[in-house]
């Protein structure tokens, strides 16, 4: 995608970057430690306000790693991206249209199963994902054992254990994001397989979606799923953010 176009898309969200700065989105369920990760990494280099047109908090902050500059965006906590609330819409729209160079999905180590739901949705939108399993100190207290290597192999993206409040694992998290954005780490996110009827419907839609300009902008499978869901909020966002004539450069 043309760099100017990417900048213009990001400006919709009040985000200004130069070509040298990577944008990292922080997503996750409410109360899993996103802001703790954000504060630990960005310290005082923060800027807070509201999301354009919404009364939802927006925090952006920067950090440097291996001489590269990263702009981190602390997204509102959400259980899903299926747009039942302003928060879900913001998180979904930013991941879809803000074109982050990487998205960190923060999960609660003490309730992985519930938290993975959001991770799978995000992995339908983008393959630039790093999973951060936070609160591992709490999991240890509860004698929950997690096989991180196996989880990583199953998910197809890097999985980094952290205890953000104590600063544990944050360097590894920065390293994983760095390797993803410079392209030395290739991810292959696991895709959820739906019922045969849904998979069939996706297969019918894909050949019609794939030739369109929009398929360069939005993951076609995710778009097919949203169309099947008759997700009018998402269609509205497409119209808001994408000038279809300029969608491919
Ligand atoms: N024990 C422990 N507590 C943590 C850890 N990380 C964050 N917390 C605590 O968890 C609580 C929630 O952290 P936040 O960073 O505000 O969570 P959040 O995901 O930003 O929450 P929302 O913005 O409301 O969605 C706070 O009391 C943190 O101090 C951790 O690794 N271990
Ligand atoms: Mg927060």
Residues 158-204 have pLDDT tens digits of: 999 999 999 999 999 999 999 999 999 999 999 999 999 999 999 99
- CA 164 – ligand 1 centroid, Å: 8
> Which ligand is the nearest neighbour of the Cα of 78?
1
What is the pLDDT, as a whole number, of residue 200? 98
Q: Ligand 1 pocket test: pick from 25, 28, 31, 34 the residue with the most ligand atoms within 8 Å of its Cβ.
A: 31
Give tens-digit pLDDT for 82-114.
978 999 999 999 999 999 999 999 999 999 999
Cβ 29 vs Cβ 42: under 8 Å: no
Give tens-digit pLDDT for 38-75.
999 999 788 888 888 888 888 999 999 999 999 999 99
For atom 28 of ligand 1, which residue has the closest CA? 33
- CA 134 – ligand 1 centroid, Å: 9
Domains of the chain: residue spans and CATH: 3-182 (3.40.50.300), 196-246 (no CATH)
> Using a 6 Å CB cutoff, which residues line ligand 1?
28, 30-36, 77, 134-135, 137-138, 163-165
Poorest-pLDDT segment among 12-26, 57-71, 128-142, 190-204: 12-26
Between the CA of residue 170 and those of 53, 103, 198, 223, what are the distances in Å? Answer: 33, 15, 39, 33
Between the CA of residue 218 and those of 50, 79, 166, 226, what are the distances in Å? Answer: 25, 21, 37, 11
More confident position, 123 or 241: 123
> Which ligand is the nearest neighbour of the Cα of 168?
1
Q: Ligand 1 pocket test: pick from 33, 40, 58, 111 the residue with the most ligand atoms within 8 Å of its Cβ.
A: 33
Complex ipTM: 0.99
What is the pLDDT, as a whole number, of residue 249? 47
pTM for the whole structure: 0.95
Q: What is the dihedral of CA 63, 122, 93, 247, to 10 degrees?
A: 100
- CA 137 – ligand 1 centroid, Å: 12
Section 11-36 average pLDDT = 91
- CA 169 – ligand 1 centroid, Å: 15
Q: How confident is the model at residue 140 (pLDDT cuts 50, 70, 90)?
A: very high
Q: Ligand 1 pocket test: pick from 165, 167, 170 the residue with the most ligand atoms within 8 Å of its Cβ.
A: 165
Give tens-digit pLDDT for 230-245.
999 999 999 888 765 4
Section 112-133 average pLDDT = 97
- CA 30 – ligand 1 centroid, Å: 9
CA dist 112 and 109 (Å) reads 5
What is the token pair recorded at 165? 């409040």
Which residue, among 15, 16, 74, has the nearest Cα to 40 in the 3D structure? Answer: 74
More confident position, 56 or 137: 137
- CA 47 – ligand 1 centroid, Å: 20
Which strand ranges, in their side-by-side order, compose the sheet holding 159-161? 46-50, 57-65, 68-74, 21-28, 102-108, 129-134, 159-161
> Which ligand is the nearest neighbour of the Cα of 170?
1
What is the pLDDT, as a whole number, of residue 214? 86
Instruction: Determine what percent of the chain is predicted with pLDDT higher than 70.
Output: 96
Section 201-220 average pLDDT = 92
What is the pLDDT, as a whole number, of residue 103? 98
Helix (H) or strand (E) holding 26: strand 21-28
Q: How confident is the model at residue 26 (pLDDT cuts 50, 70, 90)?
A: very high
Ligand 1 atom at minimal distance to the Cα of residue 37: 15
């Amino acid at each position: 995608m043309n760099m100017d176009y990417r900048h213009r898309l990001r400006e919709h969200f009040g985000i200004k970057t130069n070509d040298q700065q990577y944008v990292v989105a922080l997503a996750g369920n409410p109360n899993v430690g996103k802001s703790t990760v954000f504060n630990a990494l960005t310290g005082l280099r923060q800027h807070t306000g509201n999301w354009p047109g919404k009364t939802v908090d927006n925090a952006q902050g920067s950090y440097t790693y291996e001489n590269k500059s990263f702009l981190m965006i602390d997204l509102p906590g959400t259980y899903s991206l299926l747009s039942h609330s302003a928060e879900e819409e913001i998180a979904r729209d930013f991941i879809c249209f803000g074109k982050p160079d990487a998205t960190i999905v923060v999960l609660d180590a003490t309730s992985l199963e519930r938290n993975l739901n959001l991770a799978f949705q995000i992995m339908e939108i983008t393959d630039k994902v790093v999973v951060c399993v936070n609160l591992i100190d709490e999991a240890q207290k509860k004698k929950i054992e997690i096989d991180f290597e196996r989880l990583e192999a199953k998910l197809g993206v890097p999985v980094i254990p952290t205890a953000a409040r104590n600063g544990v694992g944050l360097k590894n998290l920065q390293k994983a994001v760095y390797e993803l954005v410079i392209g030395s780490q290739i991810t292959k996110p696991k895709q959820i397989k739906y019922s045969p009827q849904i998979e069939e419907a996706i297969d019918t839609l894909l050949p019609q979606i794939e030739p369109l300009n929009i398929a360069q902008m939005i993951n076609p499978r995710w778009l097919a799923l949203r169309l099947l869901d008759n997700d009018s909020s998402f269609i509205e966002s497409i119209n808001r953010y994408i000038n279809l004539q300029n969608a491919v450069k």
